[in-house]
Structure 1
Amino acid sequence: MKITTHRRGLLAGGALIAAPGLARAFPVRPIRLLVGFAPGGAADTVARLLAPGMGAALGQTVVVENRSGASGTNAAGAVAAAAADGHTILLSTLTHASNPHLFTGLAFDYAAAFAPITQAVLFPTILAVRKDFPARDMAEFLALARSRPEPVIYGTPGNATAQHMAGELLQLRTGIRLEHVPYRGGSEAARDLAGGVIEASFNSVGTVAPALAAGARPLVAVTAHRIPSLPDVPTGSECGIGDFVLSDICGLFAPAATPPDRVSRLQQAVVAALRMPEVQARLRSQETESIGSTPAEFTAFITAESARLGTLIRAAGIRLS
């Protein structure tokens, strides 16, 4: 891979003269990859999976740093304030698109502070019900939810997560009533689904897999296409529910003024890491889909998702407490 160099010059006698030895390659020091979530979670796992391959492609170490708290805004703020030279970047989730509508008074503007690099992965979301739930498919689930006086109780990894928003989106699209139970993580919600404590759960496929193995039943994929590991589970559109696509992601961002060639180089490094056989195998084992979109594609995606989620958040009255 060719490394683009940037020449600095000295103004002497009215002419711009290239200064020998001052042309600098990128990167010239380790890359700091900030993650806005705790070690061991899905975002942290993806970051640590990508870092070695990115480092090999860039010729520099990629150091993962966790700055958890405030739904990822702590890490985002640190990257927004960092030098725009490509050496400090952010790995975030779909919160990058929803946070602007959930937080006020931030020291940075999500729409203006970042240069999207790439959507690295997708965590496909499904709706699953406990094994004794009296609905065999999505049509029966909707009919039951409309007919009984009490709402269906569903669990998610937490308030204002992508999975919570999927539940709110289903209510808006179908008119049914659901009652949300936020957990402190997807695995806790999956555990209570397997144990019959909650009736249903919106969760990522990889996280809810133990509950499915214990008898919980998937009803619908909240994705544009069927999930390869669950080929018999229909999408929302196949169930007659329009615009019912909402799953979590991991994507990378640089400070807004980072030179485009450096953003492109970082994107290529992520794609190189995603193509590594051991990374592909690990992602498949975790039911995670690799993406590797271009900066332009990822910019368009984040812009569209932010507008869509903003409308959803206002309509559903979602707040962070």
Structure 2
Amino acid sequence: MAGKSGLLGRLRVFATAAALIATGLLALVPSMTVAQTYPNRPIRLLHGFAAGGAADTLARIVSEGLSKRLGQPVIVEAKPGAGGNIAAAAVANAAPDGYTLGLVTGAHAISGALYKTLAYHPTDSFEMVSTLVYYALVVAVRADHPAKTLPDLIALAKQKPDEISFGSVGFGSTHHLAGELLNTTAGIKMVHVPYRGDAPSATALLGGEVPVIVGTTVLLAGQIESGAIRGLAVTSPTRTGLLPNVPSVAEAGLEGYDVRTWAGLLAPKGTPADIVTRLNREVASMLGDPAVKKALETATGGEARGSTSEDMRILIRAEIAKWSKVIDEAKIPRID
């Protein structure tokens, strides 16, 4: 009897183990199926800015590169408004199946710092895929402005606090906060004047409405090269290939000043890990393509560079903390 009891016990153990193994294998089936079949239909790529703008241009370069690698169309959809928040909310609320992605820029982190409440969490509502490109801005004046260098401008601003204004692409933009960070770092107080994009702010500069702007390098490069506008400094720690003759803010004496906006891809929270891994791998492949790399860098004047999912999350968290401090120091009212 004892032998039979022992045998039955061992059989029960084996049966339990087999059941556990089978359960584990069954749990893997949905993930394995997703990995093998994704994607089998078109993918939407949302961004939160106007069609034809810089983000839209980036999205179309990325959509083409991913389409070739995924074997399915990647369809760009612009959902402009609220500094990209409308599109980000749409991505956060989409089905987490890999068929809705979002292209976000540095504005995504600024929203996390500037808005009191959002319809989503800037990091926790998403699975990060990868960064795509980083690019600097440029502090510029009209060619006949008395400031020949950034130190000249700082000296003038110290003599005339609250009298010198600077234009940007809009309230709460990276351009706006780059100017406010310049204020606090240099100990000056230039007054912000928002415009509705790079072109209107450049027109205002050339027309004498504002003496200074913080603008996008790629959109101002032609006017800087022609001599109509003088670039005083780029906002990255080193010079950019697009404007090799314009010094960096650090070269101009403001050590530690670093403003580079960026673009990256994300997906709704809960998107299967194998899909996120696949997308990250395809982005890395795409950025390794010289033609795609050149297109992204030409469109932004920056550096095409990918990341891990976690590194993108870390970047956004760090940017939120950075811009929160700038907003507090500049006493910028937060948006409800």
Is 1:190–1:210's contact at 8 Å kept on the other side of the alignment? no
Letter paired with 2:52? G
Q: Deviations over 1:54-84 (max 9, x none)?
A: 0111122111111111221111111111222
- Of residues 176-185 and 108-117 in structure 1, the stretch that sits farther from structure 2 once superposed is 108-117
2:330 maps to 1:316: yes
Is 2:221–2:242's contact at 8 Å kept on the other side of the alignment? no
2:250 maps to 1:237: yes
Letter paired with 1:267? N
Tell me the TM-score normalised to structure 1 length.
Answer: 0.88
Structure that is richer in helix per residue: 2
- Of residues 255-264 and 298-307 in structure 1, the stretch that sits farther from structure 2 once superposed is 255-264
Alpha-carbon distance between aligned partners in 2 of 1:190 and 1:275, rounded to the nearest angstrom: 34
State percent identity of aligned pairs. Answer: 38
CA shift at 1:317, angstroms? Answer: 2.6
CA shift at 1:152, angstroms? Answer: 1.8
- Secondary structure at the aligned position of 1:72 is classed as helix
Give 2:192's aligned residue.
180
Is 2:218–2:242's contact at 8 Å kept on the other side of the alignment? no
Alpha-carbon distance between aligned partners in 1 of 2:234 and 2:195, rounded to the nearest angstrom: 21
Letter paired with 2:318? A
Give 1:9's aligned residue.
none
CA 1:23–1:163: 2 relative to 1, 3 Å: same
CA shift at 1:187, angstroms? Answer: 1.4
Please show how residues 242-321 of structure 1 align to structure 2 within 5 Å.
242-286=255-299, 287-319=301-333
Give 1:220's aligned residue.
233
- Secondary structure at the aligned position of 1:74 is classed as helix
Give 1:3's aligned residue.
none
Give the unaligned 5+ runs of structure 1.
1-11
2:126 maps to 1:114: yes
Is 1:54–1:272's contact at 8 Å kept on the other side of the alignment? no
Alpha-carbon distance between aligned partners in 1 of 2:205 and 2:195, rounded to the nearest angstrom: 12
CA shift at 1:158, angstroms? Answer: 0.7
Tell me the TM-score normalised to structure 2 length.
Answer: 0.85
Give 2:15's aligned residue.
none
- Secondary structure at the aligned position of 1:317 is classed as coil
Aligned residues: 309
CA 1:312–1:148: 2 relative to 1, 3 Å: closer
- Of residues 114-123 and 40-49 in structure 1, the stretch that sits farther from structure 2 once superposed is 114-123
Is 1:53–1:272's contact at 8 Å kept on the other side of the alignment? no
Alpha-carbon distance between aligned partners in 1 of 2:312 and 2:238, rounded to the nearest angstrom: 19
- Of residues 101-110 and 125-134 in structure 1, the stretch that sits farther from structure 2 once superposed is 101-110
CA shift at 1:281, angstroms? Answer: 3.4
Alpha-carbon distance between aligned partners in 1 of 2:81 and 2:306, rounded to the nearest angstrom: 26
Alpha-carbon distance between aligned partners in 2 of 1:149 and 1:297, rounded to the nearest angstrom: 40
CA shift at 1:126, angstroms? Answer: 1.0
Give 2:33's aligned residue.
23
